[in-house]
A and B are shown apart, each in its own frame.
Chain A
Amino acid sequence: MFESLSDRLNETFGRLGKKGRLTEQDVDEAMREVRRALLEADVNFKVVKDFVAAVRERSVGQDVLKSLTPAQTAIGIVNEELIRVLGTDREPLRAPERPPQILMLVGLQGSGKTTHAAKLAVHLRKEGRNPILVAGDVYRPAAVNQLQALGKQIGVTVYEEGVQQNPVDIARNGVKFAQERGFNPVIVDTAGRLQIDEKMMQELVNVKAKISPTEILLVADAMTGQEAVSVAQAFHERLGVTGLILTKMDGDARGGAALSIRAVTGVPIKFIGTGEKTDALEPFYPDRLAGRILGMGDVLSLVEKAREQTDEKDAKRMQDRMMKGQFDLEDFLDQLQKLRNMGPLNQLLEMIPGIGSQLRQAKAQVSEDDLKGIEAIIQSMTPDERRNPHIIGRSRRIRIARGCGAEIHQVKDLIKQFDEMKKMMGDLGAMTKKGKMPKGFPPLR
């Protein structure tokens, strides 16, 4: 449903360009597209208003009007502005005046505080630190058990007092315990709460007063809508939030909420959560998020998806087989299935910048069914046939075709194509071994 902003701007300027000269009114029309794109990405409407005003000013003043490629120039300005608002520098966690460093996690229910407490612990331990987790969520059923289970899984000590005690006392005792035993940093989990729940917000204020945390990190879901602003503002006003962790970035939400929060609170985004595993925590890169908010393709996510499907050993083994000319239909099937596991083909192609619009222009449709057809043909072969396709004669072809509902010539074509592909791989392997590169291939390095 979302077209990328660059497609839309190309369309707008393309339409306008036909009449010759661009005017300020034309820029206004383009700005409407910018506004729409940001709103669809869940950027708060107030933030959008200011943002578009800033972009408009630069666009009119600058070269968009004279540019031969006004759409690209405008996109460039939008992108730059986005990165400017999101923060150009990476901000590390603050160092405490005196140890231990205390990190307090706050946020709405279900934003991912407990999971990210554990992720932070893993991250900091990798830096050679000795973290401890403090179980301060006494309200959600089994939240303490969840933190304990995570602690056990990652091998990090969890301080807890069950669910009968007051979270303020638990936090204070947890910090004291950490000081006595030499744990540093102390990561304090708190219960999720609504920013309008006065009693619960006061509780956080009390926790803060008792333990004077080095960082108060607001944990926010990347899928949050327009409310992100009031949530962040309320937490910030009461507590003085020092950083933001943006979670569930492995989803496909545009993540405009991050821009809103950053714009209204000025709080830096320190980490993003990118998966369910305890090591899925990454530093924040403004340019990546800017591209994502604009829907301009996301090569990095594509790479990540590919990584999800293969492990390195597997890939190496496959490469060896290809080079040695041992690649068989069984391997081919495996590769096909991995590709399909990465998601719908169209969606994958859209992640590659530029391809989305080209596909639409060419009205080309990559057919998932074609791949399914190939899979079906290979699957109706015996393991022996898959390993030695040359044994497939006429009668086997008929059987295979019947087994998968394909035409006999399709089976033949598949084997022929596979043979050619294999031959090419073999050639490539042989040539690299001799140190010669086949014509037209870039050097392997």
Chain B
Amino acid sequence: MPVVLNRLFRRRVEVDPQLAQGLEKTRRGVFSEITKLFERTAIDDELFEDLEMLLIQADVGWDISQRLVGELKSRIESESIKDPLTAREVLRLEMVELLELATRNRKVKILQRGVPFVIMVVGVNGVGKTTSIAKIAAYHKSFNRTVMLAAGDTFRAAAIDQLNVWGGRLDVPVIAHEQGSDPGAVVFDAMQAAHNRNIDVLIVDTAGRLHNKSNLMAELSKIRKIMQKTVEDAPQEVLLVIDATTGQNGLVQAQEFAKSVDITDIMISKLDGTSKGGIAFSVAKEIGTPISYIGTGEKATDFAEFRPETYVDSLFFGIGDGL
């Protein structure tokens, strides 16, 4: 879409205050340097070089950085753009468009009365699955839905305790067996319990697993089959959590999990650090799966829905720095 059209249709930048706060630190890093980069009198080669470097520094990755810079260059040429600030705007919209690839396939989720909406949360070790589950539980509770948690991580020591602590804090029931027991059995019990108690949303924790361990990945499909004994189309949501600190391996993670468990949604966690979460761009481009949520801290409320424009704008402009 030509810039002019985009400008006509562009809404005023809405910055989600909570998201912006979480992203504040990120913004102060690389992306505000991107803003600064365009505060110059003319567009020159140095600008492109520095831009590529900053994008790479944000974990956007070599391929996508090349692509973004290349596209910017050709647009500047074909549209004879002279003003650096206009160029910045072109880049901004390019980045938003790229992220929109990750929301285009978003499906409307339907919660049926009497049928638990089952969310299976997966990811590699240490990305913050359990904390993310607490956030999602709080999110669904805020819509007055009844929520239940299933302690499907029976492998890691005290993962069950950790989920129980969150269950207590959020006043949400937790179905758990002992550590070392079969995750399938816990999931089956939880499915039955959710069904019998008329629970709206059942969130199932799973043990962290590296995506290159095929036997552990196969276990996830087994868990899925067990869910389907109680609810035919469960899990209605399979959420992959990716740590924003992750480098290019994040894309491989998304690809592999998509292959073995048909993930329906992605959440980017730990965006409160200085990491830029640039992996979102390659994930958006290479995988069709929608990025749906972001996590920005250790509290259950440090959570927001993923919005491409807000993501890019918060990273570019932050609070009170409108256009």
Residue pair A248, B124 in contact (C-beta under 8 Å): yes
Instruction: Name A40's contact: one of B62, B211, B276 (CB within 8 Å).
Output: B62
Cα distance A253–B256 in the bound complex, in angstroms: 13
> B215 on the interface (CB 8 Å rule)?
yes
A248 and B214 contact, Cβ closer than 8 Å, known pairs A142-B158, A227-B275: no
Interface residues of B in 147-170 (CB under 8 A from A): 155-159, 161-162, 164-166
Residue pair A225, B248 in contact (C-beta under 8 Å): yes
Chain B proximity mask over A225-268: 1 for CB below 8 Å, otherwise 0: 11110110000000000000000101111101100000000000
A45 and B57 contact, Cβ closer than 8 Å, known pairs A36-B62, A112-B125, A196-B273: yes
Report A-chain residues with C-beta under 8 Å of the C-beta of B245.
108, 221, 224-225, 227, 231
Report A-chain residues with C-beta under 8 Å of the C-beta of B25.
196
Report A-chain residues with C-beta under 8 Å of the C-beta of B84.
none
- Within the complex, the shortest CB–CB distance from B49 to chain A, in Å, comes to 11
Considering residues B58, B125, B164, B274, which has the most beta carbons from chain A within 10 angstroms of its beta carbon?
A: B125
- The total of interchain contacts (Cβ-Cβ below 8 angstroms) comes to 145
Considering residues A36, A149, A341, which has the most beta carbons from chain B within 10 angstroms of its beta carbon?
A: A149
- Within the complex, the shortest CB–CB distance from A247 to chain B, in Å, comes to 8
Report B-chain residues with C-beta under 8 Å of the C-beta of A108.
245, 273
> B59 on the interface (CB 8 Å rule)?
yes
Cα distance A316–B57 in the bound complex, in angstroms: 50
Considering residues A108, A110, A257, which has the most beta carbons from chain B within 10 angstroms of its beta carbon?
A: A110
Residue pair B247, A146 in contact (C-beta under 8 Å): no
- B243: nearest residue on chain A (CB-CB)? A110
- Within the complex, the shortest CB–CB distance from B27 to chain A, in Å, comes to 13
Residue pair B274, A230 in contact (C-beta under 8 Å): yes
A251 and B212 contact, Cβ closer than 8 Å, known pairs A146-B158, A276-B155: yes
> B288 on the interface (CB 8 Å rule)?
no
- Within the complex, the shortest CB–CB distance from B243 to chain A, in Å, comes to 7
The secondary-structure label for the interface of chain A is loop
Residue pair B58, A143 in contact (C-beta under 8 Å): no
Report B-chain residues with C-beta under 8 Å of the C-beta of A148.
158
Chain B proximity mask over A409-423: 1 for CB below 8 Å, otherwise 0: 000000000000000
Report A-chain residues with C-beta under 8 Å of the C-beta of B125.
110, 112, 248, 276
Report B-chain residues with C-beta under 8 Å of the C-beta of A195.
273-274
Residue pair B212, A45 in contact (C-beta under 8 Å): no
Report B-chain residues with C-beta under 8 Å of the C-beta of A109.
126, 128, 270, 298
Considering residues B126, B130, B166, B251, which has the most beta carbons from chain A within 10 angstroms of its beta carbon?
A: B126
> A214 on the interface (CB 8 Å rule)?
no
A39 and B270 contact, Cβ closer than 8 Å, known pairs A141-B165, A248-B124: no
> B252 on the interface (CB 8 Å rule)?
yes
> B314 on the interface (CB 8 Å rule)?
no
Interface residues of B in 243-275 (CB under 8 A from A): 243, 245-252, 270, 272-275
Residue pair B249, A342 in contact (C-beta under 8 Å): no
> B279 on the interface (CB 8 Å rule)?
yes
- B54: nearest residue on chain A (CB-CB)? A45
Instruction: Name B162's contact: one of A141, A153, A194 (CB within 8 Å).
Output: A141
- Within the complex, the shortest CB–CB distance from A239 to chain B, in Å, comes to 18
Instruction: Name A341's contact: one of B124, B214, B246 (CB within 8 Å).
Output: B214
Report B-chain residues with C-beta under 8 Å of the C-beta of A231.
245, 274
Report A-chain residues with C-beta under 8 Å of the C-beta of B251.
1
> A140 on the interface (CB 8 Å rule)?
yes
Residue pair A252, B252 in contact (C-beta under 8 Å): yes
Residue pair A145, B161 in contact (C-beta under 8 Å): yes
> A400 on the interface (CB 8 Å rule)?
no
Considering residues B210, B212, B248, B274, which has the most beta carbons from chain A within 10 angstroms of its beta carbon?
A: B248
Cα distance A194–B270 in the bound complex, in angstroms: 10
- Within the complex, the shortest CB–CB distance from B152 to chain A, in Å, comes to 16
Residue pair B158, A251 in contact (C-beta under 8 Å): no
Interface residues of B in 191-249 (CB under 8 A from A): 210-215, 243, 245-249
Chain B proximity mask over A89-113: 1 for CB below 8 Å, otherwise 0: 0000000000000000000111110
Beyond A150-B157, A248-B124, A248-B210: 11 further Cβ-contacts under 8 Å? A108-B273, A142-B162, A146-B159, A149-B158, A194-B272, A221-B246, A228-B247, A252-B212, A276-B125, A342-B214, A344-B214
A-B contact pairs, 8 of them (CB 8 A): A40-B248, A45-B56, A142-B158, A143-B162, A196-B25, A226-B57, A252-B210, A254-B248
Query: Top 5 A-B pairs ranked by shortest CB distance?
Result: A225-B247, A110-B126, A42-B247, A146-B158, A141-B165
